Amino acid sequence: MIVHNKDGAVPTCHARLTVSTRGRPLSRRHAAQHAKSPWAANPWLTSPPGDDQDEPPESLLATAPAVPLASGPTAPQAGIPVPEWEDRLPRRGAAAAALLWWVGAHGGAGETTLAALLPESRAAGHAWPVQPDPASVPVPAILVARTSMRGLRAAQLAAADWASGSVEGVELLGLVLIADAPAKLSRPLREFAAVVSGGVPRVWWLPWSERWREGEHPSPQSSPRQARRLVEDARALTTGRRAPRSAPLEGGSSCTAS
């Protein structure tokens, strides 16, 4: 519960309790910046990197828990409308060999790149890797999108599709936002990204990689440290899982749920 002062303001001690996208306490300076941001009033909105930084401080990364905490909804929610048919990703049968699926919300999102970083995972081909039997163990998946307006809108639609409950047999673990350009995000993009990220369990931010752009084969050793951290988190979130057995993705039918 938030306790207000007599004048209705939130005391400064509350700012120190603000958590980051991974559930870790923010420093006094970053908490103060968060309190002034347009999304600070909504605890479901996750703050993207601000004007003065491209990534969380090293001290925060060093103290992260083994399994990243969820900062947003972890299950579908009542009252979320299903997007229009043409705005929804297709559904396909998940393959037996993958412990994690990267679901690109749009073309060029980066799902194939991330699959190369984690051999046990696979790119879903811009489709939800659903289980044909709803009673089976849900398939773990992470959405992937670029930070362009087109990419963020596609991620928002995919997140809404999942949140509406129409994507059966999938456990959404979070969303990866990959920079679409070397420059920092403009304010409209940052603010929209904050809205989108508030609708998924977790958010990972990956910076622009010139090596990936030039066609270098992705590897944890040559990738940005944010990508290496993403791989560590993905392993932690899927530890102990067994790959679900169903029809392979390539042979599955492409369809949308009714």
Tokens 């979320």 belong to 80
Q: Which tens digit of pLDDT belongs to each residue from 210-225?
A: 888 877 888 877 889 9
Tally helices (H) and strands (E) across the chain: 8, 7
Q: Going by DSSP bridges, is the β-strand pair 121-123/128-130 parallel, antiparallel, or unpaired?
A: unpaired
Distance CA 107, CA 61 (A): 30
Question: Looking at 74-88, 132-146, 186-200, which range is the least confident one?
Answer: 132-146
DSSP assignments along 24-45, one per residue? PBPPHHHHHHHHHSTTTT-TTP
Go through the domains of the chain in sequence order and give each one's CATH number: 46-238 (3.40.50)
Helix axes 187-197, 149-163, angle to 10 degrees: 10
Q: Which of 41-45, 61-65, 152-156 has the highest mean pLDDT?
A: 152-156
Q: What is the pLDDT of residues 101-113, one digit of tens each?
A: 999 999 999 999 9
The pLDDT value given to residue 214: 79
What would the pLDDT profile of 166-181 be if each residue is shown by its tens digit? 998 899 999 999 999 9
Cβ atoms of 237 and 68 within 8 Å: the answer is yes
Exposure of 28 in the CB half-sphere (CA atoms within 13 A): 2
Residue 14 has pLDDT above 70, yes or no: no
The confidence score (pLDDT) of residue 130 equals 83
Q: Give this prediction's pTM.
A: 0.69
Q: How far is CA 193 from CA 104, 129, 175, in A?
A: 16, 24, 11
**Per-residue pLDDT band at 197 (split at 50, 70, 90):** very high
